[in-house]
């Protein structure tokens, strides 16, 4: 029990340090965490720490937080065209998208932890004030949803499957037209 409490305290300190590493950013907001299964507390804490660090990275773009969250063998199983595979992929995606939406934020609406797998439903928000391809932002407010399934092994994210509502995003940016 004492070992579990010490491990939980150490992970809390690490997460606080990860969040404070990006002094300019607020901690990622997580509305709900659901724990499914009966994993040992230390393992669940380790899994949650990696997941929270990953979404803190998406919230503030701090690549040192990303480095702590993902494994060197990280694989994106739904890799979009033009994005590099491996740990550079999320960093590249964040840098590229933040050129279009510099104030990008993420809110985790629901995080479901089941053993080594975490399913995360999130909401991205910001303002399109930069450039995206040939499109120039005019300050449009954007918000769109995304869902991830991540696998965490030994406290690091090794695999990611994701889907984003890109049609809504492009419509809000004025790049795509949606009609029914």
What number is the average pLDDT over the span 4-25? Answer: 38
Place of tokens 């406290």: 155
pTM recorded for the entire structure = 0.84
Q: Any residues with CB less than 8 A from the CB of 22 and at least 6 apart, and which?
A: 56, 60, 61, 62, 65
**φ, ψ at 82 (rounded to 5°):** 90, -10
Second-level CATH architecture of 2-172: Roll (3.10)
* Token pair listed for 107: 């809110």
User: Which of helix, strand or coil describes residue 65?
Assistant: helix
**Position 11 pLDDT exceeds 80:** no
Measured distance CA(110)–CA(148) in Å, rounded: 11
Task: Write down how long the chain is.
Answer: 180
Task: Find residue 75's DSSP bridge partners.
Answer: 159
The 10s digit of each residue's pLDDT in 16-56 is: 333 334 445 689 999 999 999 888 899 999 999 999 999 99
The domain ranges of the chain are 2-172
> What pLDDT score was predicted for residue 100?
97
Measured distance CA(53)–CA(150) in Å, rounded: 13
> What pLDDT score was predicted for residue 27?
93
Nearest CA to 142 among 179, 108, 176, 92? Answer: 176
pLDDT band at 75 (very low <50, low <70, confident <90, very high): very high
């Amino acid at each position: 029990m004492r070992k579990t409490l010490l491990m939980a305290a150490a992970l809390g300190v690490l997460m606080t340090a990860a969040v404070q590493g990006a002094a300019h950013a607020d901690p990622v907001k997580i509305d709900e965490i659901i724990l499914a299964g009966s994993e040992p507390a230390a393992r669940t804490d380790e899994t949650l720490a990696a997941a929270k660090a990953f979404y803190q990275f998406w919230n503030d773009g701090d690549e040192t937080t990303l480095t702590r969250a993902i494994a060197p063998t990280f694989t994106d199983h739904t890799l979009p065209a033009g994005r590099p595979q491996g740990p550079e992929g999320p960093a590249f995606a964040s840098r590229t998208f933040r050129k279009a939406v510099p104030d990008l934020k993420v809110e985790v609406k629901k995080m479901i932890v089941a053993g080594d797998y975490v399913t995360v439903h999130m909401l991205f928000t910001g303002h399109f004030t930069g450039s995206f391809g040939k499109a120039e932002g005019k300050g449009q407010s954007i918000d769109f949803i995304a869902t991830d399934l991540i696998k965490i092994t030994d406290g690091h994210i090794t695999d990611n499957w994701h889907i984003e509502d890109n049609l809504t995003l492009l419509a809000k940016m004025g790049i795509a037209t949606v009609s029914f």
